[in-house]
Amino acid sequence: MWESQGDSAAGLISSTKLGVQTQGFHQRGSSWYVSADIPSDLLIQIAETNFHLHKYPLLSRSAKLNRILYDSRDPDLSKIVMDDLPGGPEAFELASKFCYGIPVDLTAGNISGLRCTAEYLEMTEDLEEGNLIFKTEAFLSYVVLSSWRDSILVLKSCEKLSPWAENLQIVRRCSESIAWKACANPKGIRWSYTGRAAKGSSPKWIEMKDSSPSRNQNQVVPPDWWFEDVSILRIDHFIRVMTAIKVKGMRFELIGAGIMHYASKWLPGLMMNEAAMPADESSNFSNSNSSSSSGGGLHMIVAASKEENTSTTSLQAKDQRMIVESLISIIPQQKDSVTCSFLLRLLRMANMLKVAPALVNELEKRVGMQFEQATLGDLLIPCYEKSETVYDVDLVQRVLEHFLVQEQTESVSPNRESFSEKQMNAKARVARLVDSYLTEVSRDRNLSLTKFQVLAEALPDSARTSDDGLYRAVDSYLKAHPTLSEHERKRLCRVMDCQKLSIDACMHAAQNERLPLRVVVQVLFSEQVKISNALANTALKEAVGVESHQYQPPVLTNRKTLLEGTPQSFQEGWTAAKKDINTLKFELDTVKTKYLELQNDMENLQKQFDKLMLKQKHTSPWTSGWKKLSKLTKITDNHHHHIAPQIPTPEEPHTRKTTRRWRNSIS
């Protein structure tokens, strides 16, 4: 259907009339000569190769050579230099043979160069019918573009023909042809591609009628059959092919897989399985890319040896940066189109090569979309900027922020009910990953307490069901930073919740002399609360007759072990703190008692004052002076009564009686 039984399509072309009788071309050193009876009268120099030819066969088919001779105003001009001819001496040799009427063999390897040379020499139909432009264009359209392998080879050969191949639409047409064949449904076509290309082999598509139906049904075409061939292209041509494939509607998972396959070939060290590539295949890629680089194209980057100079290293970095930037720009926007591990490795290389900040920010957002799939090894990205820390903690902080923003966006979506459980699982995985990352980077003595605390507190409390991972990170940080003050230690320990520690973590914390005393007390108190709750739950279950496991004995054993393992210094500190608490409680009770007594006295005085004011309103001015005196006496008596309540003495009734008689006598 797309491929003939042969390895590649080919064709023979020649001009219809001969201007000079010739027996062919022969080469002497770096010069080409025509075997003819007439001596040559024109020397054309292309790079370091000289062609000794005749004017008439060339001028009759090339408008450019006619114009050069005409503009020179020299009819005896015998030398023309054309160093900018596309295709080089090889393509001009074929064009010269065509002008002499010698049959030319057109193949996928030489058609693009010959087509560009014909355009450069302006070998159009205006000079002769069936000129070189017409015949090369027909071969491209009807032979090359109908073949998968020839389309790949022609596009590969265009790497040395920029910008001529672009202007003549050779790159666009080959890219669309490859994209159409890659997206076509292979059902009904017998597939004879073995998977991994070996020395130029490629998938061959043969019509169904040439094979038996039973054999074809047993052959399954893998969806990634086209990865290997497309990965040999230069990065700009690969981008053109992948863009065309994306327009054709291929699944984004396959597009992402193709990008990852290409990156594994052209970015050594990016993928883990890079070292597993066979040696012969690596040499093929190296040779192919080195040949294409001579024409200004990208070449495969290998590890630099000690003998390579600085300019070569900078050129490699420039080429790699171009590849990374191009791959970032074509990664599909859908989540899970590529793995999170690939994104993080690409991000590492982007930071190392100083890729454009906008592309790095876009890549960080992509990592944040699927951050729960990351692993600790991929997350340990070195800090390539001028920084004191070994790992780029700020990068992980930014990625984590992008993850939280993404989770927040999904939580307010119309389908948030279906995402709730998935989001909780994702946050839990990210929390475990962040705790492991903190444990690893905390060993860096240059990591500031602020960076550690900000990253640890970035996730919400609901993301962690247990703070054992945070405790390990805190303990590792304390071990690596023994000079922290007591205030800084307390500030560091605020990032974890003692109530979320497991039994084992509590036992370790109680024996950890690096922790502040306050934190140890909190751990012990939290453990006591857990034991009390466990005992209460056990008693409740026994009361209602529900069978339960005997949880009390092992807990008491752990409690005893916990207390026995506590250092003596902490035990003495705990005893002193307990004594201070009891003293404060006693003093507080004493103050409360005195306050109540004073409050009662104040209420009694207020009642007596109110009674005095009431009686004063009903007393006449004549007796007001005597009543004031009597009220003053009563107030004094009441005051003595409250201060020292005693049984009334015999003098008191006598005094009252005398006073009463005295008042009566006056009235």
Query: CA 637 to CA 641: how far, in whole Å?
Result: 6
Tens-digit pLDDT profile for residues 40-54: 888 999 988 999 998
Q: Which of 50, 58, 54, 65 is nearest to 15 (CA)?
A: 58
> 319 or 194, which is more confident?
319
The pLDDT score that the predictor gives to residue 111 is: 95
The pLDDT score that the predictor gives to residue 216 is: 47
Does pLDDT of 660 surpass 60?
Answer: no
**What is the sign of the dihedral through the CA atoms of 393, 397, 399 and 403?**
positive
Helix, strand, or coil (residue 439)? helix
Tens-digit pLDDT profile for residues 59-93: 999 999 999 988 887 777 888 999 899 999 999 99
The pLDDT score that the predictor gives to residue 242 is: 96
pLDDT average, residue stretch 191-220: 43
> 591 or 575, which is more confident?
591
pLDDT average, residue stretch 246-269: 92
Does pLDDT of 418 surpass 70?
Answer: no
The pLDDT score that the predictor gives to residue 576 is: 63
pLDDT average, residue stretch 610-637: 60
pLDDT average, residue stretch 534-546: 67
The pLDDT score that the predictor gives to residue 187 is: 63
Residue 50, beta-bridge partner list: 31, 45
The pLDDT score that the predictor gives to residue 298 is: 30
CA-to-CA separations, 521 to 260, 471, 509, 531, 586, in angstroms, rounded: 53, 15, 10, 15, 22
Amino acid present at 451: K
DSSP state of 22: E
Query: CA 510 to CA 561: how far, in whole Å?
Result: 11
Contact predicate 79/113, CB 8 Å:
no
The pLDDT score that the predictor gives to residue 606 is: 84
Those residues whose C-beta lies under 8 Å from the C-beta of residue 521, and which sit 6 or more positions away, are 574, 577
Tens-digit pLDDT profile for residues 577-609: 667 677 777 777 777 787 788 878 888 888 888
pLDDT average, residue stretch 499-506: 86
Grade residue 628 by pLDDT with cuts at 50, 70 and 90: low
% of residues, the chain, pLDDT over 70 = 69
Does pLDDT of 105 surpass 90?
Answer: yes
Does pLDDT of 644 surpass 50?
Answer: no
Phi-psi region of 657 (alpha: psi -120 to 50; beta: other; left: phi over 0): alpha
The pLDDT score that the predictor gives to residue 434 is: 95
Tens-digit pLDDT profile for residues 222-233: 888 899 999 999
Query: CA 463 to CA 441: how far, in whole Å?
Result: 21
pLDDT average, residue stretch 110-138: 94
Grade residue 161 by pLDDT with cuts at 50, 70 and 90: very high
Does pLDDT of 566 surpass 70?
Answer: no
> 201 or 327, which is more confident?
327
Does pLDDT of 655 surpass 80?
Answer: no
The pLDDT score that the predictor gives to residue 296 is: 33
Q: pTM for the full model?
A: 0.69
> Across the chain, what does the average pLDDT equal?
77
The pLDDT score that the predictor gives to residue 230 is: 94
Mean pLDDT is highest, among 138-147, 207-216, 618-627, for 138-147
> 561 or 579, which is more confident?
579
Name the one residue in this structure whose structure tokens are 């591990």: 341
> 246 or 26, which is more confident?
246
pLDDT average, residue stretch 129-137: 93
The DSSP secondary structure of 160-221, one letter per residue, reads GSTTHHHHTTHHHHHHHHHHHHHHS--TTSEE---SS--TT----EE-GGGS-HHHHHH---
Does pLDDT of 332 surpass 90?
Answer: yes
% of residues, the chain, pLDDT over 90 = 42
**Considering only 34-38, 148-152, 176-180, 330-334, which range has the smallest mean pLDDT?**
34-38
Those residues whose C-beta lies under 8 Å from the C-beta of residue 166, and which sit 6 or more positions away, are 172
Does pLDDT of 496 surpass 80?
Answer: yes
**Considering only 158-172, 553-567, 609-623, which range has the smallest mean pLDDT?**
553-567
| Tokens read off for 93 | 């040799």
The pLDDT score that the predictor gives to residue 123 is: 94
Mean pLDDT is highest, among 381-385, 559-563, 616-620, for 381-385
Query: CA 310 to CA 291: how far, in whole Å?
Result: 21
The pLDDT score that the predictor gives to residue 650 is: 42
The pLDDT score that the predictor gives to residue 595 is: 75
The pLDDT score that the predictor gives to residue 271 is: 64
The pLDDT score that the predictor gives to residue 286 is: 38
Tens-digit pLDDT profile for residues 435-475: 999 999 999 999 999 999 999 999 998 899 999 999 999 99
Tens-digit pLDDT profile for residues 369-413: 999 999 999 999 999 887 788 999 999 999 999 999 988 887 766
Contact predicate 409/375, CB 8 Å:
no
